[in-house]
Amino acid sequence: MSRANAAVIRRSPAQQAGRYWSGLLMVSVLISVFWSQSIQARGLPDFTELVAENSSAVVNISTTSEPRSQSSRFHGLPFDERQLEQLPPFLQDFFGGPQSPFGGSPRQQQPQRSMGSGFIVSTDGYVLTNNHVVEGADEVIVRLNDRREFQATIVGTDPRSDMAVLKIENGEDLPVVQVGSSRDLRVGEWVFAIGSPFGFDYTVTAGIVSALGRSLPSENYVPFIQTDVAINPGNSGGPLFNLDGDVIGINSQIYTRSGGFMGVSFAIPIDDAMNVFRQIRDKGSVARGWLGVLIQEVNRDLAESFGLQRPRGALIAEVMQGSPAEKGGLESGDIVLEYNNDPVRLSSDLPPLVGRTPVGESARLIVLRGGREINLDVTIGRLPENGEAAPAPEADDSGAPSQNSLGLAVEPLTPEMASAAGVQGGVLVTRVGQGPAADAGIRPRDIITEINREQVRSIEEFSQVTGKLPSNRAVSVRIVREGRAIYLVMKP
């Protein structure tokens, strides 16, 4: 028997158990340390190297706007600026002086200055920022973090997306950011911003992506990235980075009641921003795709009335006359479920998808019509600069006022009223009593053009359609109110 084996045999059970538990404890401690470090690394990223690598391409933007004569400054006065200058000096001081409630006279006004942020995207000096940072500016100065300053020219702006493209002339060795992609962003992902809030240069704030594809009332064609990154006045136009150091958005707006940060910030996705940049750089303007429809959200009751198992899609309330949608066969009451293989979950999903489509290109839509899905190919047009009102043929309805079990009193729609409302027929609601119509939100002066997916162009058609409505089931009602078509849900 060897000496080593003898030693093992002579070790007592208690000693063996002690060694076992001691080893197990040491392994547990090591696992705990490594696990806590892993959790810390994943939960609290280190931004120091990322900030050092990317700060040089982030710029501070300061603008100067010379005072301009504006007619609005003389709103409420019985004279304009030229007439003001012809008044005696004491009256000029009274109406236009520094103590006047109407503001200082033109010669006393000082140049307006503002500040914002931006970032360099190309070695030849192109800078991206927000339109509202440079809007109305006569001079734009770009300052880098190495304290170099350059005068920049405004290449072009796109107020719809709140974007502006600047150009630094005669710049050498300009640093640039690494442009990433916003398509693969996920909610909960860490992001950080570099900017100049309140003029404090190169301030870094961090947070997470709170939501994607947000549609704001001011702009339906930008699917904003919502974050909880601290953004304040002065951050506008600055970059939003991911943990790879890639720019994935342009900080643009905040939701606030106090004027400061409240945890809700919005950024323009970099994919959309770069599309705008390339169009401005290459063509000088931005062209967006256009369908020519008015859409609304599909709620639970509308989903039930249209035969959908759950709310989804974009409900077309109105198709504009002569629009690409009309030429492509879309109809009011269609629900767009897919656009070029992209699902449309909310109505706000559709405008950005259409806006990104090149003008003149064909788009494949899947719509729900009459309880079944159909495919349509629509050639996308160019979004007009201003809204267009499409005239409609006059209606020729006749008949007498009618009241029914829905609690509605209606009367024929005259040709003049039909033309003014832009409809081809319908009935005018004159009175709403207690009943399903009132519960649905129908009001006097509404024009009913469709009930339960059947057209209503006259009193006779209204009576026929309402006489065969199913009971205890939601039905859709299309109305035109103040020139806008919407769908409501009524339960007879």
* Residue 118 · residue 59 · CB < 8 Å: yes
- State both tokens at 477: 């009602």
Task: State how far the Cα of 274 lies from the Cα of 292, in Å rounded to an integer.
Answer: 25
Task: State how far the Cα of 346 lies from the Cα of 212, in Å rounded to an integer.
Answer: 12
Q: Could you give the residue ranges of the DSSP H alpha helices within 97-231?
A: 131-134
- In the block, residue with structure tokens 């940060």: 261
Task: State how far the Cα of 31 lies from the Cα of 484, in Å rounded to an integer.
Answer: 64
Nearest Cα neighbor of 443 from 471, 393, 480 is 480
- Enzyme catalytic residues: 132, 162, 236
The SS3 of residue 466 is helix
299 φ/ψ angles, rounded to the nearest 5 degrees: -90, -175
Other CB atoms within 10 Å distance of the CB of residue 152: 26
Widest pairwise Cα distance in the chain: 125
Q: Collect all residues with Cβ–Cβ distance below 8 Å to 217 and sequence separation of at least 6.
A: none
Q: Which amino acid is at 426?
A: G
Q: Collect all residues with Cβ–Cβ distance below 8 Å to 75 and sequence separation of at least 6.
A: none
Q: Rg for the chain (alpha carbons), in Å?
A: 32
Task: State how far the Cα of 49 lies from the Cα of 120, in Å rounded to an integer.
Answer: 19
CA angle 341, 347, 352 (to 5 degrees): 60
259 φ/ψ angles, rounded to the nearest 5 degrees: 95, -10
- In the block, residue with structure tokens 């909310």: 346
Other CB atoms within 10 Å distance of the CB of residue 67: 15
Task: State how far the Cα of 285 lies from the Cα of 153, in Å rounded to an integer.
Answer: 16
- In the block, residue with structure tokens 């919407």: 486
* Residue 458 · residue 447 · CB < 8 Å: no
Positive or negative: CA dihedral 274, 280, 283, 288: positive
